[in-house]
Structure 1
Amino acid sequence: MIDRDNDRKQISWDLETTGFAWNAKITVSGFWFPSENGTVELVLNTSDTEIDVDQYETHLENISGATVTVTPADGEAALLEVLQRVVFDRFDREYNRLTAFHGDSWKGGFDLPFLRTRCIDHGIDWVFDNVMYCDVWDPVKKRLNTTAKYWGTHDDVNSLDAAHDILFGDDVPPVLAEAAPDHQWYANREYDPFASSRSASYCYERGELLPVAQHNLADLHRTWELAELVRAYIPNTDITEKKL
């Protein structure tokens, strides 16, 4: 269980893929590290596409307010190896916790099972070996009300962007605003170019990589904010963590 009085710093993680099948490819994967306005590491599968790294970083920093590092990787195997290096260089296993939205829950999740299969396929050691992990999806779905009512029907909103929109609305929850008054919260600075990850996949296939990186950055930002909301409002006994 999470101890709020002696807690780890939370680092959000997310990936985008070309599809859901086992042999789909990771297009981009990133981390949001806590700092005044966030520090982001994005690893982009550029394959045969040339990118201007400085232009990408400047654009992403301007829209998010975070400090962004973009690392191009020539193929998925290279991307996984860069992720390993980021974890080795930036993670403190005693003081950091990885968070994701439906990355790996009791019903399976998507991101971590997908990542495991891609590591196995490339013969690469497990990226998150012995890293502490907490999934945001379970406590958001079970302990917060994200049910929307439309024309007499009720739907559970289970996506990252929809849950974030409901819980943050147009304003940052006061408890978070007071804790980090200078942080450029995503709720007040929306910049996701896509309504769905499928749209990001289509864009990637056309060789348009900057919007895909921007989408991943937006998801990282939302995930980190939801994780901080969960930490502030949900009892320790209802939030579980595990070593990956």
Structure 2
Amino acid sequence: MGDLTPLAFDIETSGLEPGSVITVGGLAFDLGAWLVLNTSGRHADANRLETVLEDQTGSTVHVTVVDDERALLTALADCAAERVDGDRHYLTAFNGEVWKGGFDLPFLRTACVRHNVDWPFPDVAYADTMTMMDRFDTGDASDLEGVYEVLIGNDYCDPFADSGAAVDAFKNEDWVPLLLHNLADIQRTRELAVLAGRYIPKSDFKMKNLEPPNL
């Protein structure tokens, strides 16, 4: 893995059934985080959301508001092009993409196909944080919240017990708790990846390049 530093990625969706869309995409950097909110044409004030999130978390957060999923994908690609450097960073997520499964990256790929847009993460390495956690003894804990509690245990302003509540928040236009949940997930994921970088052998970071061969 060299000296690559982790950038944590996470999405929220409107559900798991066919036709569900990405509602939030988030990236956590070493300094601050970036969130894009898809309102599906409803109103949200990006400046107000930034202020509330920063007041409640003490984090530096940039919020972009868009009207639909296609615009979310475009904003994500623009942010990645500007801030993701394949020579310095690797992308990570918790169960984002693992052998025979994962959620975030497969869902993102399907959304890109649906809108005929290019993959937003060309030429960047990926390693899944959940796989890294296999190298720690976390007892019965296996999800992000449980593993984080065992290994790090800092408090986070996550209003939801699980990601399922994010579906209802999107339907009800509860933008602040929806964004707080995504922010908590990407920050916890990045902290776990940083911890893994201190204790896990380089050979156990199962990295792959996300660039499609025909991009």
Range class of TM-score, shorter chain = over 0.9
Matched, 1:205 2:171: yes
- Residue 28 of structure 1 aligns with which residue? 24
Matches within 5 A, 1:43-192: 43-140=36-133, 142-148=134-140, 157-169=141-153, 187=154, 189-192=155-158
Instruction: Output the TM-score relative to the length of structure 2.
Output: 0.94
Please state whether the residue corresponding to 2:131 is helix, strand or coil: helix
Amino acid at match of 1:137: M
Matches within 5 A, 1:36-47: 39-47=32-40
> Which consecutive residues of structure 1, in runs of 5 or more, have no partner in the other structure?
149-156, 170-186
**Bigger Rg, which one:** 1
Deviations 1:154-184 (A, max 9, x none): xxx2211111011113xxxxxxxxxxxxxxx
Please state whether the residue corresponding to 1:48 is helix, strand or coil: coil
Matched, 1:193 2:185: no
Distance in 1 between residues matched to 2:208 and 2:55, nearest whole Å: 35
Deviations 1:114-169 (A, max 9, x none): 100110011011111221111111120x2111223xxxxxxxx2211111011113
Preserved CA contact (<8 Å) 2:45 2:65: no
Which stretch shows the higher mean deviation, 127-136 or 215-224? 127-136
Amino acid at match of 1:191: C
- Residue 189 of structure 2 aligns with which residue? 223
Amino acid at match of 1:168: I
Distance in 2 between residues matched to 1:138 and 1:64, nearest whole Å: 28
RMSD: 1.2
Please state whether the residue corresponding to 2:55 is helix, strand or coil: helix
1:107: Cα distance to partner? 2.4
1:237: Cα distance to partner? 1.5
Distance in 2 between residues matched to 1:114 and 1:55, nearest whole Å: 29
1:89: Cα distance to partner? 0.8
Preserved CA contact (<8 Å) 2:126 2:207: yes
> Which consecutive residues of structure 2, in runs of 5 or more, have no partner in the other structure?
211-215
Distance in 2 between residues matched to 1:158 and 1:120, nearest whole Å: 31
Deviations 1:185-205 (A, max 9, x none): xx1x42000001111111111
1:22: Cα distance to partner? 4.6
Aligned residues: 210
Instruction: Output the TM-score relative to the length of structure 1.
Output: 0.83
Please state whether the residue corresponding to 2:48 is helix, strand or coil: helix
Preserved CA contact (<8 Å) 2:124 2:209: yes
